[in-house]
Amino acid sequence: MRNEKFWVKICGAERVSSKGPPFDDAVPFARALIEAAPDRILWGTDWPHPNVGKHMPNDGDLVDLFPLMAPEPALQKKILVDNPARLYGF
């Protein structure tokens, strides 16, 4: 994340979790990425989860993790609206 050319989508909690559902042990990883480069973070669910392992995630549960990853409303807007608009030019 030190390289200004790199962007990261915080998703895949079901892949990095060692506990399984609700995959909340993935939150610290997302927070670390957000802290490192809040202006170059995107969010998504990875639906339809092509590389699913042991547990098929419920997308509603994954959405519920987002406010744990980015608790402040201004940061949520940045990740969900401002950053994608800047990256994709819309």
Least reliable range by pLDDT among 11-15, 47-51, 57-61, 80-84: 47-51
User: What residue spans define the domains of the chain?
Assistant: 8-88
- Reported confidence tier of residue 84, pLDDT bands at 50, 70, 90: very high
Task: Between 53 and 18, name the one with better pLDDT.
Answer: 18
Q: How far apart are CA 36 and CA 39, in angstroms?
A: 9
- Reported confidence tier of residue 33, pLDDT bands at 50, 70, 90: very high
Token pair listed for 76 = 């949520």
Whether 19 contacts 53, CB under 8 Å: no
Global pTM reads 0.89
Active site residues: 46
Mean pLDDT confidence for 47-74: 89
